[in-house]
Amino acid sequence: MAHLADALKEQGNKAFKNGDFLEAEDFYTQAVQKFSRNPLLFTNRANARLKLQRWEGAVNDCLKSLEISGKAQNHKAYYFLAQAQLSLHHPNEALSSALTAYEQVRNPAPTTKTSPKDLETFSAFVLKCKKAKFAVRDRERLRRQGDLRAEFENTLELNKQRDLDEVSRDLQAGDLGQVEAYERNQEILTNFENKRAELLTVFALADPSHHKPREIPDHLVDMITFEPMHDPVMTINGHSYERSTIYEHLKRSKTDPLTREPLTIDDLRPNFGLKAACDEFWDSGASDWIIDW
């Protein structure tokens, strides 16, 4: 049965490449029915379901895939799981899945295949989850204080969610094409971000002492991407960078970005002290919102 499943999987992969995610999902489902012990069938179907915005289905597939692969490395399943969890508004769970995926590609098991872009992609996603978690906690705190801004923000968030859910429903009912659904989603998200930014600006102007944006301290920011770090590594001259960005730089030029001295991945050392400072920043009960993520 396994070879039948493989053939169906190939057809699924082809449909996926062509952007026909419904058809891909269907082929993977048929493959699962032939032979359900291949974790890749489930991760591939999870990926198709992510594209179709069937978040719960994607979560189930990832969990099933992880159950089959047991202790073996399965970073794709964790990464897809993290995406589905974030879309379902579980930033804590999403962060923990994303971190597992990140750790697994950072220290891959000898036989596993990883793509050179994985580290960068996963690192960016870890950051996204951290920001989501941070934002939720910030709103929670304000809500407990009975803050008006948090209430408005929540309403915006709920409206956004309602609109997104509607698009998902229409997509699944076939009333909406994939391209159209994607464009709608982008529009909803842009709209939401604009309104939220406006709201925060108004509050910052009205009551600077409570709503003033907070700057991220420079020493926690990666000098290449200008994003806050979560896994800083130090070069021989003592400067630290986010691991995935300095790896990306070293792929093109084996030099220290500041001094131009020769530098390789083996010269980098984890900077535990700075990592602790970054973690502390992420965990600090946000006293203010952060400008311009």
Partner 1 sequence: MAGMSSKRLQKELVKIQGTLPPGISLVSAPDLKEWQMDISVLDNPLYPPADKYRLRFTFSPSYPIEAPEVVFLAAPDRNIPMHPHIYSNGIICLDLLDSQGWSPVHNVESVCISIQSMLASNTKAERPPGDKEFVRSNRQRPRDINFLYHDPTV
Query: What are the residues binding partner 1 (CB under 8 A)?
Result: 117, 120-121, 124, 223-227, 245, 248-249, 252-253, 255, 257-258, 260, 292
Handedness of CA 19, 21, 27, 32 (dihedral sign): positive
CA distances for 39 relative to 48, 58, 111, angstroms: 15, 13, 16
Q: How far apart are CA 278 and CA 64, in angstroms?
A: 34
Vertex 81, ends 80 and 86: CA angle to 5°?
100
User: Which residue, 100 or 245, has its beta carbon nearer to partner 1?
Assistant: 245
User: Which residue, 14 or 251, has its beta carbon nearer to partner 1?
Assistant: 251
Strands 240-242 and 232-234 turn out to be antiparallel
User: Which residue, 71 or 292, has its beta carbon nearer to partner 1?
Assistant: 292
Q: Tokens 């842009």 identify what position?
A: 190
- The least CB distance from residue 102 to partner 1, in Å, is 14
User: Which residue, 87 or 255, has its beta carbon nearer to partner 1?
Assistant: 255
Environment class of 48 (CB within 10 Å of its CB; exposed 0-12, middle 13-18, buried 19+): buried
Q: How far apart are CA 30 and CA 227, in angstroms?
A: 43
User: Which residue, 28 or 122, has its beta carbon nearer to partner 1?
Assistant: 122
- The least CB distance from residue 257 to partner 1, in Å, is 4
- The least CB distance from residue 251 to partner 1, in Å, is 8
- The least CB distance from residue 116 to partner 1, in Å, is 12
- The least CB distance from residue 292 to partner 1, in Å, is 6
